[in-house]
Amino acid sequence: MEMHAQTLTELAAGLEKGDFTSLELTQALLDRIAAHNDKLNAFITVTADEALAAATRADTARSKGGGGVLNGLPIIHKDIFCTRGIKTTCGSKMLDNFISPYDATVVERLADAGAVVLGKANMDEFAMGSSNETSYFGPVRNPWNLECSPGGSSGGSSASVAARFAPAATGTDTGGSIRQPAALTGTVGIKPTYGRVSRYGMIAFASSLDQAGVITRSSEDAARLLGVMAGFDERDSTSIDQPVPDYLAGIAHSIKGLRVGIVREHFDAGLEEETGKKVKEAIAVLKALGATTVEVSLPNLNLSVPTYYVVAPAECSSNLSRFDGVRFGYRAENAEDLLDLYCRSRGEGFGDEVKRRIMTGTYVLSAGYYDAYYLKAQRVRKLIADDFRKAFAEVDVIAGPTAPSPAFKLGDKVDDPIQMYLNDIYTIGANLAGLPAMSVPCGFVDKLPVGLHLVGAHFDEETLLRCAHQYQQETDWHTACPEAFK
Ligand code: GLN
């Protein structure tokens, strides 16, 4: 099999056996990116020189019998993770010239394990979006159909993995930004429990919801990477000091007896019919593997989108106040005074969606409206979390659709924010409740991939990965490759 077609796990074996070197592998993928990225616009920065140097170091380490668990394996970082000495834009004009003086913990841990970074992936501006169309660097295209969106905000990451530019990419998920793009591109995406992976050096959007994770083609690869990324970090005050299980060992176990919750409210009017059928077929596979299904109810789930669109903008308005034209990034020219400098720098540096969120967020936090909006949203958030808690007393995982339909056309929803926001209706609940969740490819509708969504109890990524891995042993949706990228 050609190198680009292999999973991370297969590539690790190839490197170990000496079938190829990391330098050969890295060069082959960089060539592929150079030849095909124009079609997708998946990258903001390609770090060819740094990648080749890292690959050479990995080969040297291996020849001496050393190197970490990911030694010489190529990955891509979403451009929201700070990388020392390499531009980190967060998809915004505001940070178009920002070079971080330090690495994010995720970047550091993967590098310490020997991973080779091919570049920084395109994304929605400040991770706000579901289609990658809010990026200052232009939309990303879906490898399955170039007229369609690859999802967002981690659209550069999902498109890159689907197009075989790299076997894996990092992503972040505040309301669905790992799982929805994974579903729309036929890849695997996991958002761990809030607090499981350090947010240090990950540019903040909504701090109580943001969580880092990965996009891969197999759950085995996701388990491999998550094991490296996860774990306590004293530099993130919300990072939790809990032991990280051996995810790779965990996935091998059968799912016989696993209790799978099916949410009554998931299969209602909002779900496109064919997508629903594929999800039901996937659940039937889990049953054939020995799982049992239990109907559960999440009565407040229909409030998750409105709740999120109060909480997330509120936090973003606060987080993004640091971009003032003085300390980071873009600065407007010819300002008349300090206030004018702030106003012009923010007015020129941020795109429309970011401004919409900052204004909404400032409004819901303002003295007269705080109780009516922000406080109420926090209360509803608690109700949603309670619904999940009750459900997890009866089941081990909850299964349903990741997104209401397959990939939509670029341009279709940009003028209608509400329609765009509704794309995350199935994913947002897990962020509000801080739960781990993942998307696994489960079929095609009109030649476009759809995803099965799995949500787990707090800190139980292991069950999600195991369930997904066992499903992938029985199915081959995840091995399908878009025709133009074979
Ligand atoms: N699409 C959602 C939003 O626009 C979620 C984004 C995310 O998870 N970063 O806010």
Nearest-CA residue for ligand 1 atom 10 is 128
Neighbour tally for 243: CB within 10 Å: 9
Q: Give the residue among 264, 263, 276 at the shortest CA–CA distance from 405.
A: 276
| Whole-number Å distance between alpha carbons of 35 and 32 | 5
Average pLDDT over residues 370-397: 97
Alpha helices in 186-236 (DSSP H): 219-229
Q: Give the residue among 176, 154, 91, 140 at the shortest CA–CA distance from 421.
A: 176
Name the active-site residue from 92, 130, 131, 153. Answer: 153
Active-site residue flag, 78? yes
Tokens of 84: 């020392």
Name the active-site residue from 92, 177, 219, 405. Answer: 177
Specify the pTM.
Answer: 0.98
Q: Give the residue among 389, 402, 396 at the shortest CA–CA distance from 448.
A: 402
Q: Give residue 265's pLDDT band: very low, low, confident or very high (50, 70, 90).
A: confident
Q: Which atom of ligand 1 is nearest to the CA of 129?
A: 4
Average pLDDT over residues 394-404: 97
Cα 421 to averaged position of ligand 1 atoms, centre (Å)? 8
Give percent above pLDDT 90 in the chain: 96
Average pLDDT over residues 294-320: 96
CATH homologous superfamily of 3-257 = Amidase signature (AS) domain (3.90.1300.10)
pLDDT at 270 over 90: no
Q: How far does Cα 398 stand from its chain's mean position?
A: 19
Active-site residue flag, 153? yes
Task: State residue 328's pLDDT score.
Answer: 87
Average pLDDT over residues 26-32: 98
The pLDDT tens digits of the residues spanning 58-94 come to: 999 999 999 999 999 999 999 999 999 999 999 999 9
Bridge partner residues of 173 (DSSP): 211
Q: Which atom of ligand 1 is nearest to the CA of 423?
A: 1
Tokens of 49: 């020189």
Active-site residue flag, 130? no
* pLDDT higher at 421 or 19: 19
Q: Which atom of ligand 1 is nearest to the CA of 127?
A: 9
The pLDDT tens digits of the residues spanning 140-159 come to: 999 999 999 999 999 999 99
Q: Which atom of ligand 1 is nearest to the CA of 154?
A: 9
| Whole-number Å distance between alpha carbons of 164 and 143 | 10
pLDDT at 431 over 90: yes
Residues with CB under 6 A from ligand 1: 127-130, 153, 173-177, 205, 312, 424
The pick from 177, 194, 210, 353 for probing ligand 1's pocket by mutation, whose C-beta has the most ligand atoms within 8 angstroms, reads 177
Q: How many residues does the chain have?
A: 486
